[in-house]
Structure formats: C-alpha cells, structure tokens
A and B are shown apart, each in its own frame.
Chain A
Amino acid sequence: MAHASSYKPNTAIAKWFDVRLPIMRLMHDQLQDFPTPRNLNYLWTFGGILTFFLVVQLATGIVLAMHYVPHESMAFDSVERIMRDVNWGWLLRYMHSNGASMFFLAVYIHIARGMYYGSYKAPREVLWVLGVFLFLAMMATAFMGYSLVWGQMSFWAVTVITNLFSSLDSIVPGLGTTVVQWIWGGFAVGGPTLTRLFSLHYLLPFVIVGLVILHIWALHVPGNNNPTGIDIKTKSDAVPFHPYYTLKDAYALCLFVILFMGFVFYAPNFLGDPVNYEQADPLQTPPHIVPEWYFLPFYAILRAIPDKLFGVIAFAGSIGLLAFLPWLDTSKVRSTRYRPIYKWFFALFIIVVLALGYLGAKPAEGVYLLFSRIGTALYFGHLLVVLPVLGWFEKPSAMPGSITDDVLGKGSGGSRPSAASASPGRR
C-alpha cells in the first residue's frame, strides 16, 4: 500500500545512498514498515512459504546442474551418481524433487485462499493475473525438471504431452506434426529433446523470479486483502509488517519446513512414481502413464474430452480461465465469508478439484471416465456459470464496519463470548 515513507537514514553511508539509490528506503518501507491488515490468518503465510521454496529450488537446482549430464544415455545414471558420489548429493536431489511437490502444495493453498477471500477482485486484478502466469511457469518448469531424470515416466510424460501439439493437425493438416518435430528436434523424443528441456528448465526459474518481483510490486500498491475483504480504513486496522507478520510467517514457514524435511528424510520417494527409477526405454510403454500428483486434476480434464483437440483446449482453458476470474465473478463483496450461497459452491469446487486429482491417476475408462466428465463439467460450470450468475442475486450477509470492528467485536452487536458461539459466517 502506498504509504508515507518513515525511513530515516542514520549513518553517513546510508544518507549517501539514500539520494543515489534508495534501496534501504525501499527495503524499509516495503518489508518492515509496510502497513498490513491486523486480521490476516495463517492462510496468508503461504506467499512467504512460496518465496522460500523458490529459493530452495534455485539453490539446490544450481548445484545439481553442476553434476547432472543432459545426455540420453547418461542422464539417468548421472542423477544416481549425484545421489551416491556427490557430497550431500542425496540431500540436494531429494530436497529438489520434494521441494517441487511442496511448492505446488503451497501454491494450491495460496490460490484457494485467493479464491475464497475474493483476493482477485478490484483493485488486485493484475496481481492475480501475474499469479496465474506464475502458476503456468511453475507447471512448465516442473514438467521439464521431471523429464531430466530420464526415467520411464519422464520419457513417456514428455512423449504424451508434446504429442498434444499434433492435435493442431486437425486444424491445418501437417501443422501439428511439424510443430511436434520442431519441439523434439527430431522424429521422436530423444537426445536433442532432453538437451533443450534442460536448457529451458534452467531458464524458466529465473523468469519466475522476475514474475515474483512484479507480483510483489502489484501486491504492494493496493496492499493485502484480508479475511473480511474490507479495505484498511483507519490506522488501527493495520499493523507494521515487521515484527507482526515476519514472526507469524516465520513460524508458519518453520512448520511447513518440518513437513517438507519429513518427506526428504523419511519418505523421499513417497510422492514420486516408482516407475521413474527405471531408465527411459523408447521401446517399452509403461502400462499407465501418470503425471506427478500436482498435475492430476488437469490431466483428468484433458482425458475426459473424447476429441484430442478439444481435450487440449479444455486442458489449457482449465488453467487459463483462472486468469479471467476477476471479471467472471460479479459479486459485490470479496470475502466468501459474507456469501451464504457461494460458500457451498466453493466447497463443491474444492471437492471437484480433489476428485479430478484422484481420477487423473486412474485409467481413463468406465466409471472413472464418467466421473472425470462430470467433474470437468462441474469445474467449468463453476467458473463460467456459478461465478457470473450467482453474484447477481446472492444477498451478502451483514458485514462488520471495519477490520478493527471485526477483530474487536465492536459494532457487530455482540460481546466476545456470545459472538464466539455464533455460527461462522452468519450474522
């Protein structure tokens, strides 16, 4: 939030810098003194957690890349060599592979938080759209990283996903095949494909860093949303970011790191597919090609559509549509807390996404396929029908006058104990 700078350079060198490159002022105003709503709950800690995991992926990834060999006959063994012969290599590799999973767990919670509290609504549309770009870039990065292991699942996931472009053949005959061969650098997935995937896997995280900077900039203009969705009105609605939220974020991060390191030390392969410990074999297709868990809901949507081209369109649409949420949602209030009908639809949406995730791991046949189709319809129904239509007639429940009122219970007509017994979300 734009606020008057309270920075006072104390030392001579700080004064010298302040009129040349006021970086200390920037840090002070944006990271220390930044006015933050006083009522943020733990769902607001995931932004910091995400930043932490970006740093973990960069740090471990850069060292891994010093030992990794992007060659079709050596890649698989080079990853194992890292685990066996590089000092702390096993730790680096397991942190990097589980770090990607934790990154996605955190981003899904972060996105769900935004959807629940209407954080995408004006004036935070640009912030939200940047977030969707970040999500896309993360998906691309993780997909390419997974391919680098050059195990059976790496190889066949690349084959299946790159082959999606061949659906362009049904628009312009030959176009899809040409595009696919251009991506592969040959007539099949092979050495040239692996080298370019490595190059891009190294590049994209730095694009993500750039997007994160824009994302935080776009956050610091309107400031944080909060569980009430009501803007900061008076000084008492806000607290300085430091120490209030630095400590809260640090505590939440520490708990999340316990979960992360629990996987790394005690179940490092739990989230991965065992088949990826078999070296890539272009002559042998695994019985089930399953992406990593974090892609499953979208994979289920892709396979739910019988036509290849429309499947790809639905797949891209299921993610791309998220960028249009600020304009699809017509509700006047931000927070779902004050939307008595929408909150049920929101719960249904979460269940649908989880169900699609489950179905994405199952073979696309019989009841699984049927439910994937129902789930796909509900997914798009939520974004394209519920969000635009519901806002027109849903009557929001009574809202507190301000953030302070909400926190201290003033003006909402209840003393602490009686208010505590009121059912959540209803007034």
Chain B
Amino acid sequence: MRKFVSPARNLAFGLAGTFLFAAALVVAPPQAVGKADQIKAQSWSFSAPFGMYDRGQLQRGYKVYKQVCAACHGLRLVRFRNLGEPGGPEFSAAAVKALAAEAEVQDGPNDDGEMFTRSGRPSDAFVSPFANVNAARAANNGAYPPDLSVMAKARVGGPDYLYALLTGYKKAPGDMKVGEGMSYNPVFTGGQIAMASPLDADSVEYTDGTPQILENYAKDVSAFLMWTAEPKLEERHKLGFRFMIYLFILAGFLYMAKRRVWARLKH
C-alpha cells in the first residue's frame, strides 16, 4: 500500500460507517425510547435472513384473528385467495373456499339496479366489521380500531410490539387514573388504551395440541399479522439468498480482473 492510500480509505470507511450509524439512530424514533424496555424481542421463525413463516402458526393466528380481533378490526388489504397462496398459511383450496364462503360480501348492482349480498369467493377481500370510521367509533366508545393489514410494519418493533401489546395488560399503578372505558397497558403510547385485553386463556380452540394460553394466542396472531403485512417475505428471503451469492461471486471476479489489469502498472 502506498502511504497516501490510507487516509482516503479511512475517510471512505469512516463516512460510510457513520452514515449507517446515523441512519440506525434515526430508525429508532424518539417516541420509542420510553417504551423500548417494554418491547422484548421474541424469537420468530421468519426473522432471520433465511427465515420462513411457520404454517401451523399462521393457521392458528388466522383462527385467533377471525374469532377475536375480526369483531373490531378489518384486514382490507388481504384477500381470501391469499390464505392459500405459497408463503402464507397455505390453507388447501377447499379450505380457502369454505373460509371465503363464511363472509357476507356486498355486490351489485344486479339487473334490477339493486345491491345484494352474497357469500364470499376466494377473490374477495376480507370484509371490514364496520362500514366506516364513524360507525367503528360509535361502536367503540369513540375509539377507532385501526385496520390491521399493515399494522406489523406501522409500529416500531413490528411483531414484537404486537406481542408486547397483547400480553402487556396489567393492573394500573395505584396513583394512576385510568379513564372510563380505558385499560392500563404500559406498552401503548400514553399507557392507556381503548381496547380491553382481547385475549384470554382457552378463548380460542386449538386442534393441533398447542397449549391454549394467552402467550400462544398473542404470538400466533402477531405472526399472522406479520404475514398480512409482508405476504412476500418468503419469496424475498429466497430470492435474496440467490441474488446475494451471485453478487458475491461477481464481486470476487471483478476484484481479480481489476487486480490483473492494474498489475500492468506500477502503483
């Protein structure tokens, strides 16, 4: 190495490193700081670079969503057919048809100009429980239960946050006044949430032997919501693996070619 190469290289690495560091600081936005200790990282089958979803977990999570959360929260971006697609819960085609048929979908107008309801088909989107925001608020003491389709990407911590929130209900500290219709949950910004603890042990029946405890319900539904937010995660991880190998090999060849050409020159 020549004597003057190092400051430039240091500068390059230093700059790149510090920019990444600064960026890393930015992604932990300020409001997360107070709650960070409440949100613990869980082990998820999908979080590692080669991670994939756990089919059984997604199927159980769907059941929890359907039987509990769907009463208040929509998943407007999800279609029934998605439940059978690769990289998701992968319900069988017959099961998807049956699950879709449980929904009542508005359609029309028919030849008489009337709107009508029919049972759902796999190509239909999930039907939200309320017709609009105002109806949702009216039914929930003025609070709005948000659509959960991309919720797992809309909060710092993602599925870890969802799990922490769902398992985070506690008795309020003595000096805290919890508002009417509110519940104490230190994971939620402000500590008071207008959603009562939605999950209880044994409230949803599991048929695969998984213990019917709160923690499992919370974990399964959080994983399911991660899938609704990132349905292409498995495809992404798989393609990424092949792409990265290719890039590393290409980088190796380019480096050798560059070395050879520059060897013609004293430098």
Q: Which A positions have Cβ atoms within 8 angstroms of B?
A: 38-39, 41-43, 77, 80-81, 83-84, 90-91, 94, 101, 105, 108-109, 112-113, 116, 227-228, 239, 243-244, 247-248, 250-251, 254-255, 257-258, 261-262, 264-266, 268-275, 277-278, 287-288, 290, 293, 296, 337, 350, 354, 357-358, 361-363, 406-409, 419-420, 422, 424-425
Do A277 and B153 form a contact, CB below 8 Å, given A38-B265, A244-B262, A254-B251? yes
Do A90 and B261 form a contact, CB below 8 Å, given A247-B254, A255-B251? no
How far, in whole Å, are A425 and B155 apart by their CA atoms in the complex?
48
What's the nearest-Cβ distance from chain A to residue B183, in Å? 21
How far, in whole Å, are A273 and B30 apart by their CA atoms in the complex?
11
Do A277 and B150 form a contact, CB below 8 Å, given A109-B16, A255-B251? yes
How far, in whole Å, are A357 and B18 apart by their CA atoms in the complex?
11
What's the nearest-Cβ distance from chain B to residue A355, in Å? 9
CB–CB B29/A288 < 8 A:
yes
- Cβ of B3: which chain A residues have Cβ within 8 Å of it? 419-420, 422, 424
What are 24 inter-chain pairs, A to B, with CB distance below 8 A? A38-B265, A41-B9, A42-B12, A80-B149, A84-B232, A91-B239, A109-B16, A228-B4, A247-B254, A248-B262, A258-B251, A261-B244, A265-B236, A275-B29, A290-B29, A293-B22, A293-B27, A337-B7, A350-B18, A361-B25, A409-B2, A419-B2, A420-B1, A425-B7
- Cβ of A248: which chain B residues have Cβ within 8 Å of it? 258, 262
CB–CB B258/A251 < 8 A:
yes
CB–CB B77/A265 < 8 A:
no
CB–CB A105/B240 < 8 A:
no
CB–CB A42/B150 < 8 A:
no
Do A43 and B12 form a contact, CB below 8 Å, given A244-B262, A258-B247, A277-B150? yes
How far, in whole Å, are A250 and B257 apart by their CA atoms in the complex?
10
How far, in whole Å, are A42 and B1 apart by their CA atoms in the complex?
14
- Cβ of B4: which chain A residues have Cβ within 8 Å of it? 227-228, 337, 406, 424-425
How far, in whole Å, are A41 and B2 apart by their CA atoms in the complex?
11
Do A357 and B7 form a contact, CB below 8 Å, given A247-B254, A247-B261, A266-B240? no
Do A361 and B30 form a contact, CB below 8 Å, given A248-B258, A271-B23, A275-B154? yes
What's the nearest-Cβ distance from chain B to residue A169, in Å? 30
Closest to A336 in B: B7
Other A-B pairs, 11, CB within 8 Å; known A43-B12, A80-B150, A94-B236: A41-B9, A43-B8, A244-B265, A257-B247, A261-B240, A270-B27, A293-B22, A293-B27, A350-B15, A361-B25, A407-B266
Closest to B242 in A: A265
Do A247 and B257 form a contact, CB below 8 Å, given A266-B240, A271-B27? yes
What's the nearest-Cβ distance from chain B to residue A142, in Å? 15
- Cβ of A425: which chain B residues have Cβ within 8 Å of it? 4, 7
Determine chain A's interface SS by DSSP, over half rule: helix
CB–CB B30/A363 < 8 A:
yes
How far, in whole Å, are A277 and B157 apart by their CA atoms in the complex?
13
- Cβ of A41: which chain B residues have Cβ within 8 Å of it? 5, 8-9, 12
| Among A38, A250, A254, A419, contact of B247 (Cβ-Cβ < 8 Å) | A254
Determine chain B's interface SS by DSSP, over half rule: helix
CB–CB A296/B153 < 8 A:
no
Closest to B13 in A: A42
- Cβ of A293: which chain B residues have Cβ within 8 Å of it? 22-23, 26-27
Report B237-252 CB contacts with A as 1/0, cut-off 8 Å: 1011001100110110
How far, in whole Å, are A292 and B153 apart by their CA atoms in the complex?
16
What's the nearest-Cβ distance from chain B to residue A86, in Å? 11
Closest to B158 in A: A274
CB–CB B239/A407 < 8 A:
no
- Cβ of A419: which chain B residues have Cβ within 8 Å of it? 2-3
B94 interfacial by beta-carbon distance below 8 Å: no
Interface hits, B215-238 → A, CB 8 Å: 229, 231-232, 235-237
What's the nearest-Cβ distance from chain B to residue A364, in Å? 11
How far, in whole Å, are A38 and B22 apart by their CA atoms in the complex?
34
Interface hits, B38-59 → A, CB 8 Å: 49
How far, in whole Å, are A361 and B31 apart by their CA atoms in the complex?
11
Interface hits, B55-107 → A, CB 8 Å: 76-77, 82
Do A266 and B149 form a contact, CB below 8 Å, given A109-B12, A109-B15, A254-B254? no
How far, in whole Å, are A293 and B232 apart by their CA atoms in the complex?
26
What 7 pairs across the A-B complex have the smallest Cβ distances? A265-B240, A277-B154, A251-B254, A41-B8, A247-B258, A90-B232, A254-B251
- Cβ of A363: which chain B residues have Cβ within 8 Å of it? 30
How far, in whole Å, are A261 and B25 apart by their CA atoms in the complex?
21
B19 interfacial by beta-carbon distance below 8 Å: yes
B141 interfacial by beta-carbon distance below 8 Å: no
- Cβ of A278: which chain B residues have Cβ within 8 Å of it? 146, 154
How far, in whole Å, are A288 and B149 apart by their CA atoms in the complex?
23
CB–CB A239/B265 < 8 A:
yes
- Cβ of A43: which chain B residues have Cβ within 8 Å of it? 8, 11-12
How far, in whole Å, are A345 and B63 apart by their CA atoms in the complex?
62
CB–CB B9/A274 < 8 A:
no
B214 interfacial by beta-carbon distance below 8 Å: no
Max chain B C-beta neighbours (<10 A), residue from A113, A265, A287: A265
B204 interfacial by beta-carbon distance below 8 Å: no
- Cβ of B255: which chain A residues have Cβ within 8 Å of it? 251
Do A80 and B155 form a contact, CB below 8 Å, given A251-B254, A361-B30? no
CB–CB A274/B15 < 8 A:
no
